[in-house]
Amino acid sequence: MHPIKILVVDDDIRIRSATIRHLTKCRDLEVVGEASNGLEALSRFKDVSPDVVLLDISMPVMNGIEAATTLLARDRNTRIIILSAMLTPVHLEACRSVGVVDCIPKEKLYAELVPAIRRAAVH
């Protein structure tokens, strides 16, 4: 079976790097790219063809909801997981309305991320 290809998008280099390190410990996951904002993610997306995109919700230039909206308009089969330090009911509703498959609070990132990626990849 091929590994699940992941694009990691977060403006905080420390969180992005830690997330990548965490994901590379799993044999069934492969980080194929990274970006520091939504606009950069859009340009990387077509080059790396990820199965799952991890998007921070709050980023400069283009936030996670805007990037998710654009990615899903281009390809409805894109699987997007939103990561956030603070997920409010407004954020959750915005994520659901654009078609994001899951939302994970950053304080639970390492406990919930890998299972969420695996669930997203099979749908």
Residue with tokens 């590379």: 24
23 pLDDT exceeds 80?
yes
pLDDT at 95 (0 to 100): 85
91 pLDDT exceeds 90?
no
pLDDT at 88 (0 to 100): 82
> What is the distance between the alpha carbons of residues 105 and 67, in angstroms, rounded to a whole number?
18
The CATH number for 4-122, chosen from 3.30.565.10, 3.40.50.12160, 3.40.50.150, 3.40.50.2300, is 3.40.50.2300
Assign 22 a pLDDT band (cuts: 50, 70, 90).
very high
114 pLDDT exceeds 90?
yes
Nearest C-alpha neighbor of 83 from the set 8, 4, 21, 26: 8
Name the 3-class secondary structure at 45.
Answer: helix
How much is the pTM? Answer: 0.93
> What is the distance between the alpha carbons of residues 108 and 86, in angstroms, rounded to a whole number?
11
Q: Could you report the per-residue pLDDT of 43-81, keeping only the tens digit for each?
A: 999 899 999 999 999 999 999 999 999 999 988 888 999
Question: H-helix or E-strand containing 96?
Answer: helix 89-98
